[in-house]
Amino acid sequence: MRFTAGLGATSRGSVSRSTLTGVAFMLASGAVVAFMEAAVRGVSQTLHPFVLVFWREVFSVLLLLPLWMSVGRPRVARRRLPLHLLRSLLNGGAILTWYLALRSLPLAEATALGFTAILFAAMGSRAVLGERVFPLQWIAIAAGLVGAALIVGPGLGLDTGLENAGAFGATAALGSAVLFAASMLVAKLQSRSDGSAVSALLLALGMGTLAGVLAVPVWAWPSPEQFAWLGFFALCNVLGQVFFLEAMRRASATIVIPLDVSRLVWALLFGAVFYAEWPAPPALIGAVLIGASAVLVVLGARHGERDTPEPARSAEV
């Protein structure tokens, strides 16, 4: 398959090396994040997700501090701190509820419901930012919500027999998606003058503080083996972000962002291999609908922007 020149192709129509590298980075990002979430599912059975998130953010801060210092220790203006705090609270709540979902739901279903964040963000961009949502995106959003209903419906589309745990997990996954969507909208409101290093550091500090406060009632010190896993989670989290940013830098967003849906495939594989989980047909159909709708929301935005005529300019006198 060949891409058009506008999507990172060479002058002769073949895919450029930079585009192929970007695709590889995005697939690697999806694999790393999916493997981390598969491991989180196992560790969260013996260590409460609130404690898990707290220590993950502690390790993340330790990994991000050298990066922040290497770029000159940039600071954030006081007037922008409230937005950073709000995003930390939203993102922290999203991660905490997401880990609760991973603890209660099979990987494939949790991952599929997590992708509804893109649908909620698209709807929110209309209400909060006043951005236009194109017809193809509305169709995709509707299809994605049908997919979510198939997963959350009677019996949750699962063959596990854990209806109560599944209902809680589905609620946590959808709640996490809504919070992630809100965090995306806040990120768009933030000033772009803040560097990625200081933004990532502040986000980790805020999320770690929130998780630490909530972890007090359920606090338990991790074992040495669990500490090793926590450090591994932080490393995977940082690597996943680095691979994602490299993919965005090397290839068109139209190509690489839809490939993030590959996490669904990895989640299905890791769930089957590590936990002997296999979704029932309704859940599989729902996952496919959500994944396809997430891709169409992204592509629909680019297609709509390209087809929207520019406003006519008055002739200069």
Interior/surface letters 109-133, b for 16+ CB within 10 angstroms, e for the rest: bbbbbbbbbbbbbbbbbeeeeeeeb
Alpha-carbon gap, residue 263 to 266, rounded angstroms = 5
Per-residue confidence band for 311, with pLDDT thresholds at 50, 70 and 90: very low
Q: Which pLDDT value is given to residue 222?
A: 92
Average pLDDT over residues 209-238: 90
Question: CB 253: neighbour CB atoms within 10 A?
Answer: 14
Question: CB 30: neighbour CB atoms within 10 A?
Answer: 23
pTM for the full predicted model: 0.77
The pLDDT of residue 217 is above 50: yes
Alpha-carbon gap, residue 54 to 214, rounded angstroms = 9
The pLDDT of residue 103 is above 50: yes
